[in-house]
Structures are given as structure tokens and as C-alpha cells.
Structure 1
Amino acid sequence: MCLGIPMQVLETDGFTARCAGRGEERRVNVMLIEEVPEGGWVLVHLDRAVRSLEAEEVEPLNNALDAILLAARGENVDHLFADLTGKVGA
């Protein structure tokens, strides 16, 4: 299974971008998408940006990725999906 990681563009030359997200920084190929400004967000698969992201998409994506990690360890993930479970503030 291949997962996309939301990453924020720190600097770009139009061909690649230095991006940061989920505790790491890496150089990403951005030639498949329209230009994303510094501070913008991209969804990264295998060191390639596959699409730009709106800022409000980042938190739900990170919550889903966190849930995968927690579920793999057998931990509760309900707090990451309060908007879906109706347990807001739980």
C-alpha cells in the first residue's frame, strides 16, 4: 500500500521543492503539479508531489496517518475522528 504524506513547501525552484512534514524534511519532485508557492502544501508519494493541498486538508490527512500508526499498535483512534464519531472533545 502506498500512502501520501502532506508536506509544506519550504523553498522551490519549480522542478523540486524542499518540503517538511510529519517530522522530516526532504527534496520532492514537483514537476507533476502546478507551481505551489513557499508555505503551500502538497501531497507527496514516493518523493513526488502528486497534487497541491488546501490548508484545511492537512489536519484530517495527518489524523488519518496517525490513526493508522495507533491502530497498528492496538491503541484507540476515536479522538482523531471526533467529527465522525460524534465524540467531540473526548
Structure 2
Amino acid sequence: MCLGIPMQVLETDGFTALCAGRGEERRVNVMLIEEVPPGGWLLVHLDNAVRALEEEEEVKPLNDALDAILLAARGENVDHLFADLATPSGTPA
């Protein structure tokens, strides 16, 4: 399975960007997308920016999904990461 991770741009020269996300920093190729300024967010796959992300709508849900994969792999509960998907009665929305 291939996964992209959300990373925040720290600095960019138009060809690459130094990005931080999920506890690491890495240099990412940004030549295939529109320029994203420092502070912006990218979806990164194999050190290549796939697309810009909307911070308010996309970054937290993506990080929650990645956290859920890690927790599930360890056999831990992931319900708290998807609380917004259940109605008050606890049944799926």
C-alpha cells in the first residue's frame, strides 16, 4: 500500500521544499505542482509533492487516518480518531 503524508512547507526554492510532518523533516520535489509558500501544506509521496492541501479541511483528517493505521496495526482502539463519523447514539452517520 502506498501512502501520502501531509507535510508543512518550511522553506522553498521553487524546485524543492524543506518540509516537516509526522515528526520528521525532509527535502521534497515540488516541480510538478503549483508553488506553495512557507506555512502551506503538501501531500507528499516518496519525497514528491503530489498536491497542495487545504489546512482547515484536509490536514487533520489525513493525520488522524494515518494515526489510526498505526494504532490498528498495534491492536489499539481507534474510535477516538473517528468520533465525528458517529451520531450521538453511537451508530454510524
Equivalence map 1:44-83=2 (5 Å): 44-56=44-56, 57-83=58-84
RMSD (CA atoms): 0.8
Unaligned runs of 5+ in 2: 89-93
Q: How many aligned residue pairs are there? A: 87
Secondary structure of the residue aligned to 1:18 is strand
Report the equivalent of 2:37: 37
User: 1:58 is matched by which residue type in structure 2?
Assistant: V
Q: Distance in 1 between matches of 2:12 and 2:60?
A: 23
User: 2:11 is matched by which residue type in structure 1?
Assistant: E
User: 1:74 is matched by which residue type in structure 2?
Assistant: G
Report the equivalent of 1:85: 86
Unaligned runs of 5+ in 1: none
TM-score by length of 1: 0.94
Q: Distance in 2 between matches of 1:44 and 1:86?
A: 32
Q: Distance in 1 between matches of 2:87 and 2:73?
A: 23
Q: Which has the larger radius of gyration?
A: 2
Report the equivalent of 2:9: 9
User: 1:44 is matched by which residue type in structure 2?
Assistant: V
On the 8 A contact 1:18/1:26 being kept in 2, the answer is yes
User: 2:40 is matched by which residue type in structure 1?
Assistant: G
TM-score by length of 2: 0.91
Which structure 1 residue ranges, 4+ long, deviate > 3 Å from structure 2?
none
Identity of aligned residues (%): 87
Q: Distance in 2 between matches of 1:66 and 1:22?
A: 10
